[in-house]
Structure 1
Amino acid sequence: MAERESRRDNKAMDGRWSLLGTTALVTGGTKGIGHAIVEELARFGAAVHTCARNEVELEKCLQRWGAMQLKVTGSVCDVSSPTEREKLMERVKSIFNGKLNILVNNAGTAIWKPATEQTPEDYKFVMSTNLRLPST
């Protein structure tokens, strides 16, 4: 595994896979695939902004990425909320001076209960989080 890490770092350093000078927004970047995407984009030189609903988890990740000397910023945002999505986009616009090269709509949710128990509010929340964000 260490050899693979070394080869990947060498590719980034020799410029063949460089994202230096690019900007990226990754929603839901504190867990799972989103977390890995944030780290990879930042390792390849992109300036990354991520968001998450949980402020404690976000701060923990930001501290870790800072210690790794990765250029990552973050903000608390519930992407199911149109108002919060608008605030997120204004924040990203401000941080990156209006330039966004990469958008990863990673945030998603599900409500795990039988279909007969799903409420209209459940459906609205899932659809707003999973489908509305990309169209905003």
Structure 2
Amino acid sequence: MAQADCNSSRDSRWLLHGMTALVTGGSKGLGHAVVEELAGLGATVHTCARTESVLDECLQQWQMKGFKVTGSVCDVTSETERQKLMSTVSSQFDGKLNILVNNVGTLNFQKTTDVTSEDISLHLNTNFVSAYHLCQLAHPLLKNSGAGNIVFMSSVAGVVAVSVSLYGATKGTQFNVFLNLIDFCFNLASHPLRNESGYLKVANSVFLQEH
């Protein structure tokens, strides 16, 4: 009974019925959790992943839970596939999008002296270019919704040194994009967009707050 009351209170505070969301990389990890949270609160969600079999398994599970989730195969490091993804989202959501979650990321634990040009290209395309371009592509959909929201799944490595130089550099770039999206978001007075940052309750967020 107490659990039911708790869920009821939670739902009354965070209802997302009628809202639409795109979450990149939703087949596992934080992206998977975000998809479930948004869908569980009533949002209609589209997600993407590189591996079709894994994505299909997730979609089946979400369908069994009664979630309104669709998905498509997409490698967000590809400009063509990003454009195709946003075209799919626009078609499914009638040209409107309330929430864009830039979740996809990659991490290389190699020493700085061992990092190759291919590693640099992969990290830039995955952690920075994909998110930046998806913001651009999503702009008209977010504007059409009347109240768009952009979320970046970034990292403490972007603001403090944690011995992953390449990853940290790209996440720092991503964080700077967040800070500089003010022209993207707030010059549209009649079509407000919102770009938020915050912490997840994990060990790294405690580290950041202490440093």
Instruction: Tell me if both proteins adopt one fold, taking TM over 0.5 as the criterion.
Output: yes
Residue 77 (structure 2) pairs with residue 90 (structure 1): no
Change (3 A) 1:8 1:102: farther
Structure 1 counterpart of 2:47? 50
Identity %: 53
Query: In the TM superposition, what are the counterparts of 1:31-70 in structure 2 within 5 Å?
Result: 31-70=28-67
Tell me the distance in 2 between the aligned counterparts of 1:74 and 1:92: 9
Structure 1 counterpart of 2:75? 78
Query: In the TM superposition, what are the counterparts of 1:16-35 in structure 2 within 5 Å?
Result: 16-35=13-32
Structure 1 counterpart of 2:106? 109
**Structure 1: stretches of 5+ with no match in the other structure:** none
**Deviation, structure 1 residue 3:** 5.3
Change (3 A) 1:7 1:36: farther
**Structure 2: stretches of 5+ with no match in the other structure:** 134-211
* Structure with higher RCO (Cα < 8 A, 6+ apart): 1
Number of positions where the alignment pairs a residue of Structure 1 with one of Structure 2 = 133
Residue 44 (structure 2) pairs with residue 9 (structure 1): no
Residue type of the alignment partner of 1:69: G
TM-score, normalised with respect to structure 2: 0.59
**Deviation, structure 1 residue 12:** 5.6
Indicate the SS of the match to 1:51. strand
Change (3 A) 1:40 1:91: same
Tell me the distance in 2 between the aligned counterparts of 1:31 and 1:91: 21
TM-score, normalised with respect to structure 1: 0.89
Structure 1 counterpart of 2:208? none
- 1:25–1:104: 8 Å Cα contact kept in structure 2? yes
- 1:26–1:51: 8 Å Cα contact kept in structure 2? yes
Range moving further from structure 2, 81-90 or 112-121: 112-121
Structure 1 counterpart of 2:129? 132
Tell me the distance in 1 between the aligned counterparts of 2:2 and 2:112: 47
List, as ranges, runs of 4+ consecutive aligned residues in structure 1 with deviation greater than 6 Å: none
Range moving further from structure 2, 107-116 or 70-79: 107-116
Change (3 A) 1:8 1:27: farther
Structure 1 counterpart of 2:201? none
